[in-house]
Structure 1
Amino acid sequence: MQIRIIAVGRLKKGPELDLIETFVKRTPWPVSVTEVEEKRPIKGAERMAREADLLLAAIPDDAYVIALDERGKDMRSPQFAEILERLQDDGRQCVTFVIGGAEGYGPGVKERADRLLSFGKMTWPHMMVRLMLTEQIYRASTILAGHPYHKD
């Protein structure tokens, strides 16, 4: 199973990128990160619509899509691991996580998503969300490999 992360914005070199790369290397599934960016100085609904177009264009047709959204389902790490295990067992070739821009998702992104996932009700910088997501993907792989999970 391939895991793709498609995110709005470019991550610059720094500690967040270093940690993301570390977790991606540790994860047994192949993980790729695709960044999309609207460079024109547009705002509001127009920007959200353009970012939605970019995100939707980057999603493979056969992908199972999980959009990160504050209104999504909040879950513990073992539950997240179970979802990835179920998708893998079902023969899913590609699981794609989508991270929107600062203003949220434009038309069509949530409709394309098979699941909405929340990292809580607090607001997180989008670059930190990428880091937290890669860590949780890695953590899911360790849980599924039978490593002790200290929170149970």
Structure 2
Amino acid sequence: MRLHLCAVGRLRAGPERVLVDDYLQRFDRTGRALGLGPAAEHEVEDKRGGGMEAEGDLLARAVPQGALLAVLDERGRVLPSPEFAAQLARWRDGGRHDVAFVIGGADGLAPALRDRADFALSFGAMVWPHMLVRVMLAEQLYRAATILAGGPYHRA
């Protein structure tokens, strides 16, 4: 099952870029044997300043046709890491070929895009900078793969 991280903004060289690259590389190595991955990033930028709605349109176009749409949103479900891993496994085992995780910009996700999501995930009640959310998602994907593989990375 291919995973797509569709996000507003471009991660430039720096600590966030290093962390995302590292965790996604780890995820690809660990997840391959589990039928998970590869993970690809799709970055969009609204250069015309159209705001949340324009970003929503760009994000919607970045989601592959037929992919399950999972949005990162503060109103979404808060899952412990083992439950997140189990959700990925259910999607994989249910025959999903693509899952797109969508991360909005500084103003969040356009309501129209959020409303058509198949799944909404939250990293808690706090609002996180969208660049950090990408790091956190990449780490949780790697953690999920290690949980499913029975590896020692996740200690609960």
| TM bracket, shorter-chain basis | over 0.9
* Number of residue-to-residue matches in the alignment: 147
Structure 2 match to 1:5: 5
Cα offset, 1:107, TM superposition: 4.0
- Is 1:137–2:144 an aligned residue pair? no
> Deviation per CA, 1:96-149, whole angstroms, max 9, x where unpaired?
100001112224211221011000111211111000000000000000001243
Distance in 1 of aligned mates of 2:46 and 2:94: 35
Structure 1 match to 2:88: 84
Partner of residue 70 from structure 1, selected from 70, 74, 79: 74
TM-score with structure 1 setting the length: 0.93
* 2:40 alignment partner, SS class: strand
Report runs of 4+ in structure 1 exceeding 2 Å deviation.
Answer: none
Q: How does 1:3-152 map to 2 (within 5 A)?
A: 3-27=3-27, 28=31, 29-40=37-48, 42=49, 46-148=50-152, 149-151=154-156
Cα offset, 1:86, TM superposition: 0.4
Distance in 2 of aligned mates of 1:52 and 1:18: 26
TM-score with structure 2 setting the length: 0.90
Q: Which runs of 5+ in 1 are unaligned?
A: none
Matching residue's letter, 1:5: L
Structure 1 match to 2:34: none
> Deviation per CA, 1:73-107, whole angstroms, max 9, x where unpaired?
01100000000000110111001100001112224
Distance in 1 of aligned mates of 2:19 and 2:110: 29
Identity over aligned residues, as a percent? 51
Distance in 1 of aligned mates of 2:129 and 2:109: 15
Distance in 2 of aligned mates of 1:106 and 1:26: 31
Distance in 2 of aligned mates of 1:56 and 1:108: 10
